[in-house]
Amino acid sequence: MKLYSYFRSSAAYRVRIALNFKDVAYETVPIHLQKDGGRHKSAEYRAVNPQMRVPALELPGGEVLVQSLAIINYLEETFPEPALLPPDARSRAHVRAIADIVACDIHPLDNLAPLNYLRDPLKQDQAAVRGWYHHWILEGFAAIEALIKPGPYAFGPAVTLADVCLVPQVANAKRFKVPLDAFPKIIAAEEACQELPAFDKARPENQPDAE
């Protein structure tokens, strides 16, 4: 498998964690989102992923999957052990809800594209952009803090999709200096996850394209 990735992309980070957790071998193909005006906008990469975003996962037969949660769901169905979703439907719904708060509510608003739109067409200064970024993380994390279960992980004693989505978002929050003192359960879950090889190997600083 080939994973088209950018070391700082939290969406690609999610997929790296899932691949590592399930012990699926893959080759990283770096796609820098800022150099040369954004290499994800090249004709070559557009042929891989028409949305021109990372991640994209190329399967051994050449078929390409896009969108991080769709890729992780594919991995969960194709490589069911170890599982990232609990065995019962109610628990799966709770885990998916936490994952969706990150992937559907926080991340789309704080992604590179909307931040660049705030800076350029809307002429917002860096302080305003940073305020926007902090606001949406704090809103989402307040909900997640109330929803996650006693640890060590986000939904109890086993790693789940909730952790796979939450850990990269915490990394982004730390990089942008979002104050996290109000979220001790989130931080505890993140710290527990980072002790696992699958999460440690997926860290941005451990990627071949890290700068």
pTM comes to: 0.94
Q: What per-residue confidence (pLDDT) applies to 8?
A: 95
Q: What is the mean pLDDT of each run of 10 residues along the chain (211 residues)?
A: 97 98 98 92 96 97 97 98 97 97 93 88 92 95 96 96 98 95 97 98 97 86
Q: What per-residue confidence (pLDDT) applies to 147?
A: 97
Cα distance between residue 155 and residue 94, in whole Å: 8
Domain positions in the chain are 2-82, 89-198
Q: What per-residue confidence (pLDDT) applies to 113?
A: 85
Q: Are 41 and 29 in contact (CB under 8 A)?
A: no
Q: What per-residue confidence (pLDDT) applies to 57?
A: 98
Q: What per-residue confidence (pLDDT) applies to 107?
A: 92
Give me the architecture of the 89-198 domain, per CATH.
Up-down Bundle (1.20)
Q: What per-residue confidence (pLDDT) applies to 37?
A: 87
Q: What per-residue confidence (pLDDT) applies to 197?
A: 98
Cα distance between residue 173 and residue 167, in whole Å: 10
CATH of 2-82, one of 3.40.50.2020, 3.40.30.10, 2.40.128.20, 3.30.70.940: 3.40.30.10
**What's the sign of the alpha-carbon dihedral 1, 166, 199, 46?**
positive
Cα distance between residue 169 and residue 198, in whole Å: 16
